[in-house]
Chain A
Amino acid sequence: VDLQIGNQTITVDEEASNNVELEGIDFITSGNQYLTFILGDEHYGVDILSVKEIRGWENPTLIPNSADYVKGVINMRGVIVPILDLRIRFDVGELTYDATTVVIVLSMESSERSCTMGFVVDAVSDVLNAEQNEIRPAPPFHGNIQPEYIEGLVNVGGNVVTLIHVDQLLNLEDEGAVCV
């Protein structure tokens, strides 16, 4: 099945989408669910349970002297949420801010702290259902993205979706570049 989103075309796992039509329950209960999105022409996914909301792009307030991928902060119902551009952070895709540019707000809660951040991506595509055995480790040669961010790769039709560790994504501690 081909899905048309903006000018992007992605192929969704045939079997999974059939399941949606036939037995919705199966679709929900089997394996982990990931929200997939597009950076440039690459596909990525994050654990859907950590997704708080998906917002349209709005101009954030700049944080001075922050790293270039930190676009600033926005007011999300009274909470100050920083906005990071994943395209810059992972160095993929073109930097355009248009109608389909969206912000995925992810949140992580641990016993010590909870953290909410928004990530700019080119477009949100789909919800992906992946069994643990479908997730393959990333090849040892990595691109621009540090290997600790990558949970694994999943083949979806003809495409490969890179699953990203949300915890790592929200962890700014080791980013010396942010603090000037």
Chain B
Amino acid sequence: MAIDLEQFHQVYFEESLEGLDLMEQALLSIGEDGTDTDPETINTIFRAAHSIKGGSGTFGFNAITEFTHVLETLLDEAREGKRDLTRNMVELLLKSCDCLRHMIEKLQAGEAVDESESQPLIAAFEQMLAAEQNAHSPTTPPTTGTQNHNEILEDSVDTLLNGQSSEKLTTPQANANSQEDSASRITKLWRINFRPEPQILLTGNEPLRLFRELNGFGELNVVADVSNVPVFAQLTADECFIHWTLDLQTDVSEEDILEVFDWVIDECQLDIQCLSEQDNNADSEQEIESTQPEPVDNTVKLISPAKLINPAMSESEPTTVTSEPAKPTVAKESSQNTTTQTSANTSIRVSIDKVDSLINLVGELVITQSMLSELGNNFEMEKVERLSQGLEQLLQNTKELQESVMRIRMLPISFAFNRFPRMIRDLAAKTGKKMELKLNGEQTELDKTVMEQIGDPLVHLVRNAIDHGLEPAADRIAAGKTETGTVHLDAYHQGGNIVIEISDDGRGLNAEKILAKAREKGIIDAAAGLSEAQIFDLIFEPGFSTAEVVSDISGRGVGMDVVRRNIKQLGGRIEVESAKGKGSTFKIHLPLTLAILDGQLVRVGEETYIIPLIAIVESLQIKSDLVNKVTGNMQLYRLREDNVPIIPIYQEFGIEADNTELENGLLVVVEGDGQKIGLLVDDLLAQQQVVIKSLESNYKSVRGLSGATILGDGSVALILDVPGLITRASTRSRNSRRRNKAA
């Protein structure tokens, strides 16, 4: 039984966190009153809690087991229709989701679980359960409900070990029936006689699994009775001759224990007795099958040490398997060691069809490769056509392979969106505003790294929309809007980008207020005349906040500039549109992936540069009559209604160019930060996907460059960073003006 459980910890953490997400979603779908809840919803919640508990038991995370157990007891009652999920309960369950998440995160980081958060919740749950219990059996002292669960467990373990009956244990439940009804929380010792039919193994049932599950309920002692095992010559490998007596010290109800045996109940004789109850109450003995309830002592006697053959253990003493979770300290220590190692490498879940398509592609690639190498082994000139065909195929293969590999990193954006229903619910309660959230395009796929980094900015924007955007219900009615405010979250693909829109139907941005605030804070000059779009852009300036009251939701003015910075770091941009009284829309444009970029190769003199395709508005040949010189030697190109400043790359980068004349020169009009500029280049080369390599890792970041890549011939080409170029150009022109003045 020396399986290293630690290797499964990471999987358990991930599954538990997923389970928690499921639980939360299901909880949120429960309506206001909770009376007509879909049973499937409760089942989902129950199942999630149950598997978290099961796993935690297996790995010895006792704090989680304890906590989920109380949760489960409550849910079980709801599932059986014994109680309705009230709003209070849903609230409490949501809180416990948070608490569990924290606990799991702690464990994942290899830290000790802080029970200060879980204990009050356990107490609250137990109070809730006790309240119900009181209604059923008024004789039950209410104190048991609030008693520390842990204490009960420990006390009962002690008493059981000492073989003495405990006052604490037995007194609260005088009536076994009432105890059943309320799904007892008191630790009891169950004796389970499990006598499987010999053919049980043939049906695919493995008794060890059952025991493992039982083990999840509490402390399990297993005694194997091998008296029926025939002599070796007559032994059939696929039949089971061993009978077991299991002593389970647990606080789960009998139904839960029975549930474990659900699959095998027809193929065994099962007898479950409550031992610790027997002293006081003989009626509590439960018979499940119509088997003769064997006296407990009898079975024990049957085990004669001399006859014992247990394949799992070599000792000849009675095989008492005390399984691991009974030693919490050991399990905890070892779990900590591994989690610190494993928490560093995150993993990703990939759907099997993506993996299949990858394998297919690799297969094709291998075929192409062998075809080409065979061709190369005895090459003659007449085979040149086949060679070029083969190369084309290779190109196709690598392209598809690349796309498939990139798709592995892609996750639907619902991973980032899923936290918002909960957030809206909490915020609605906090702010007292009525609001609803509409999600769209949750299946839009996005690179995992981008997803992880876009989470916080999104939270910020949604919070802002709720706090600053949506008006209180009274104001909304006065403005002739519906009482309930709406926040839309929308994701869709556009070109090589993903666009995420956050829009609300609230009061919209107040341009005058923003302008006044910006002047007050000295962000802009008092005299500066700005367009509306430029004014709205001011909210992204550091230290800007118009909220009159700083709430804990938002209003500290550190947010929006961080949002913009984060988005910029991802190579994206953010835009804001707003109409006063109608609401505002924030649009985030993000590249689909960080590692690969669609680029336009341009040549300037000897150098090749790459302009990200997403930044390019259009490329054109300059007609000199559309060039205007303004404001002292700045050249503008009239592009339809816009005047686009011309920035010759050769000048900007201080290199030699073939063509320094504007007439008939090539202008690549690019856009960044809402500003268009025209880059003068010598030649447009190919468009291709390039792998982005960092300049920073060995050098430093260079303004105007976002990185470098390696071209097909092995040479390095630099990737232009359009927003960086724009700020560079503007600071340079300012500097040169200053220099001119000085001269």
Which A residues form the contact surface with B (CB < 8 A)? 60-66, 72-75, 78-82, 113, 115-117, 172, 178-180
Contacts and interface: CB of A to CB of B under 8 A. Distances in A.
A75 B690 CA distance: 14
B703 A179 contact: yes
Contact of A73 (B654, B695, B703): B695
B162 interface: no
Given A172-B699, A179-B703, A62 B715 contact: no
A75 B702 contact: no
Contacts of B91: none
Contact of A75 (B694, B699, B705, B714): B714
Contact of B607 (A61, A172, A180): A61
Given A65-B704, A75-B715, A78-B710, A117 B653 contact: no
Contacts of B654: 64-65
Given A78-B710, A116-B698, 17 more contacts: A61-B718, A63-B695, A63-B718, A64-B653, A64-B655, A64-B704, A64-B705, A64-B718, A65-B653, A65-B704, A72-B716, A73-B699, A73-B716, A75-B710, A80-B698, A115-B697, A179-B702
B717 interface: yes
B54 to A, nearest CB: 40
Contacts of A80: 693-695, 697-699, 708, 710, 716
Contact of A61 (B694, B697, B703, B717): B717
A81 B698 contact: yes
Given A78-B710, A80-B695, A66 B702 contact: yes
Contacts of B693: 78-80
A18 B507 CA distance: 87
21 contacts: A61-B716, A61-B717, A62-B655, A64-B654, A65-B653, A65-B654, A65-B702, A72-B716, A73-B716, A74-B716, A75-B714, A78-B693, A79-B698, A80-B697, A80-B716, A82-B698, A113-B697, A115-B697, A115-B698, A172-B699, A179-B703
Nearest to B709: A80
A60 to B, nearest CB: 7
Contacts of A74: 716
Contacts of A79: 693, 698
A178 B700 contact: yes
B310 to A, nearest CB: 51
Interface in B221-254: none
Interface in B666-708: 693-695, 697-700, 702-705, 708
Contacts of A81: 698
Contacts of B652: 64
A117 B655 CA distance: 23
Nearest to B718: A61
* Residue of A62, A79, A81 contacting most chain B CB atoms (<10 Å): A62
Contacts of A66: 702
A55 to B, nearest CB: 13
A176 to B, nearest CB: 12
A78 B714 CA distance: 9
B708 A73 contact: yes
Q: 4 tightest CB-CB pairs across the interface, nearest first? A: A64-B653, A61-B716, A82-B699, A80-B708
Nearest to A72: B716
Given A78-B710, A80-B708, A61 B715 contact: yes
A72 B717 CA distance: 11
Nearest to A173: B700
B160 to A, nearest CB: 52
B677 to A, nearest CB: 16
Interface string B710-726: 10001111100000000
Contacts of A179: 700, 702-703
A112 B654 CA distance: 34
Nearest to B652: A64
Nearest to A78: B710
